[in-house]
Chains A and B, each alone.
Chain A
């Protein structure tokens, strides 16, 4: 229990004194995760919309597969990305291993199925409401996608935040493809793993609390900005 209290105290000390290492590591965490989130959303949201409105041969199979991919163990993704990016692998010449880019790639692969699945679920419900109206109004495919994505934006935001949560707390994959290199690819979660393995639980917990606070702050900030809980909005 002492460790938890020590951890809390250390966390606030680090934050209060604006410890430079902490700031660097935290910004790096956000940099990697937000980049992965941006790329994932660009892929996942339109994909979810297309899966909702377009009928094609393997649609049901694709949806089932996406739902299953949500359960991909992140560390396995990391291993696969490592093998692909390794010097003795197909994309070795790109020299991406042990860079933030490799970490972004791994995290994007991990969270895209998650965001797509959750988004698809919401869009499906909305589409069943809008279906007759949008067809009657003779909307094009693109117009339908845009209408669905815009009107479901609150639910899509939730899907994105779920993806963010999954990515910011991920450690297995980015440890393998990033290497946890000090001053280069070390982020909050890999630093926590390192300090834990060194037996420095207080520092590990401190970093953990910083991670939790960062996530909470981002979530609250996002909801406040989009006025999700205001009366009169849905």
Chain B
């Protein structure tokens, strides 16, 4: 009986502590953005500069778009241009604002059985992997990274749906997919930021980088207040201003892991 009373009072306490702050917004971002560690640096500065507390939901691009469409978040930050443009055209987002970019790299086992190191273009690297049928991990989760991978294969006239067993679609986030690559010694397309911040590198290494086609643009999209009246558009405007400000530029460009810069700020200052 006493235990029951105690539990009920915990419940009452819980209900009291469940009040959310007045100035907080929900922002859905991709796993690759969060895994880079950049959000840990930016969020506190954002809160102290403009007083906005950001509740970060770290999900895949597909889920971020879905949450935005149902109005469960106030804005999204993703990296998949085609999907973003469709999102805005369909009226879910009010507009698309480019913020920064990083690049994708091919990760693989140091021994490099497909000799990807020797490739001079991403097309050649992919051809080597396919021709030798070495194990390759695909995100398979409709994320920005996954969409980039698919668009690359297709632009070289390959059809991933018809690949053999060497091509493994794992339906997981960047970190989880890198884990799998590390365990079985497979190749994988990853964003540089997630790779640098990944703590289980074991036998893997960057085997190919630098092709312009591997350019990865992050954009900020506020959810359309006409469609969802409750979104905090005043606060998302503040956030957008901050993300395209000189302070943001400095912080983003100077964020380094192992002495290497991860992102390059490329927002424009006009609305």
Instruction: Please tell me if the beta carbons of A199 and B14 are within 8 angstroms of each other in the complex.
Output: no
Which of chain A's residues have a CB closer than 8 A to the CB of B17?
31, 100
Instruction: Please tell me if the beta carbons of A180 and B58 are within 8 angstroms of each other in the complex.
Output: yes
Asked if B4 CB lies within 8 Å of chain A CBs, one says yes
Identify which of B149-157, B193-201, B249-257 touches chain A: B193-201
Instruction: Please tell me if the beta carbons of A182 and B56 are within 8 angstroms of each other in the complex.
Output: yes
- B5-20 contacts to A (CB < 8 Å): 7-8, 10-11, 13-15, 17-18, 20
Which of chain B's residues have a CB closer than 8 A to the CB of A182?
56
> Known interface pairs A98-B26, A98-B55, A182-B56. Does A87 touch B230 (Cβ–Cβ under 8 Å)?
yes
- A53-91 contacts to B (CB < 8 Å): 86-89
Identify which of A8-16, A37-45, A113-121 touches chain B: A37-45
Instruction: Please tell me if the beta carbons of B57 and A197 are within 8 angstroms of each other in the complex.
Output: no
Residue of B nearest to A96 (CB): B18
Asked if B222 CB lies within 8 Å of chain A CBs, one says no
Distance, CA A182 to CA B201, complexed state (A): 25
Distance, CA A35 to CA B7, complexed state (A): 7
> Known interface pairs A38-B11, A179-B55, A199-B199. Does A100 touch B228 (Cβ–Cβ under 8 Å)?
no
Residue of A nearest to B8 (CB): A38
Instruction: Count contacts on A: residues with CB < 8 A to the other chain.
Output: 33
Which of chain B's residues have a CB closer than 8 A to the CB of A86?
70, 72
Instruction: Please tell me if the beta carbons of A101 and B15 are within 8 angstroms of each other in the complex.
Output: yes
Instruction: Please tell me if the beta carbons of A87 and B228 are within 8 angstroms of each other in the complex.
Output: yes
Closest approach, in angstroms, between the C-beta of A183 and any C-beta of chain B? 8
Distance, CA A99 to CA B57, complexed state (A): 12
Asked if A34 CB lies within 8 Å of chain B CBs, one says yes
Q: Which of B4, B14, B173 is the one whose CB lies under 8 Å from A100?
A: B14
Asked if A198 CB lies within 8 Å of chain B CBs, one says yes
Distance, CA A34 to CA B172, complexed state (A): 31
Residue of A nearest to B20 (CB): A99
Instruction: Please tell me if the beta carbons of A197 and B179 are within 8 angstroms of each other in the complex.
Output: yes
Instruction: Please tell me if the beta carbons of B57 and A179 are within 8 angstroms of each other in the complex.
Output: yes
Instruction: Please tell me if the beta carbons of A34 and B7 are within 8 angstroms of each other in the complex.
Output: yes
Instruction: Please tell me if the beta carbons of B70 and A87 are within 8 angstroms of each other in the complex.
Output: yes
Asked if A207 CB lies within 8 Å of chain B CBs, one says no
Closest approach, in angstroms, between the C-beta of A194 and any C-beta of chain B? 8
Asked if B105 CB lies within 8 Å of chain A CBs, one says no
- B55-74 contacts to A (CB < 8 Å): 55-58, 69-72
Distance, CA A182 to CA B230, complexed state (A): 23
Which of chain A's residues have a CB closer than 8 A to the CB of B10?
31, 34-35, 38
Asked if B175 CB lies within 8 Å of chain A CBs, one says yes
Closest approach, in angstroms, between the C-beta of B71 and any C-beta of chain A? 4
Which of chain B's residues have a CB closer than 8 A to the CB of A98?
26, 55, 57, 72
- A175-194 contacts to B (CB < 8 Å): 179-182, 184, 194
Which of chain B's residues have a CB closer than 8 A to the CB of A180?
57-58
Which of chain A's residues have a CB closer than 8 A to the CB of B11?
35, 38-39
Asked if B42 CB lies within 8 Å of chain A CBs, one says no
Q: Which of B175, B182, B228 is the one whose CB lies under 8 Å from A197?
A: B175
Asked if A201 CB lies within 8 Å of chain B CBs, one says yes
Distance, CA A97 to CA B72, complexed state (A): 8
Distance, CA A164 to CA B56, complexed state (A): 28
> Known interface pairs A38-B7, A86-B72, A198-B199. Does A101 touch B35 (Cβ–Cβ under 8 Å)?
no
Instruction: Please tell me if the beta carbons of A104 and B228 are within 8 angstroms of each other in the complex.
Output: no
- A110-152 contacts to B (CB < 8 Å): none
Distance, CA A199 to CA B228, complexed state (A): 37
Residue of A nearest to B28 (CB): A179
- A3-52 contacts to B (CB < 8 Å): 31-32, 34-35, 37-39, 41-42
Closest approach, in angstroms, between the C-beta of A21 and any C-beta of chain B? 12
Q: Which of A99, A100, A194, A199 is the one whose CB lies under 8 Å from B179?
A: A199
Q: Which of B7, B71, B175 is the one whose CB lies under 8 Å from A198?
A: B175
Which of chain A's residues have a CB closer than 8 A to the CB of B198?
198-199
**Can you report 15 A-B residue pairs in the complex whose CB atoms are below 8 A from each other?**
A34-B10, A35-B10, A38-B4, A38-B7, A86-B72, A88-B71, A98-B72, A99-B20, A180-B57, A180-B58, A181-B56, A196-B175, A196-B176, A200-B199, A201-B200
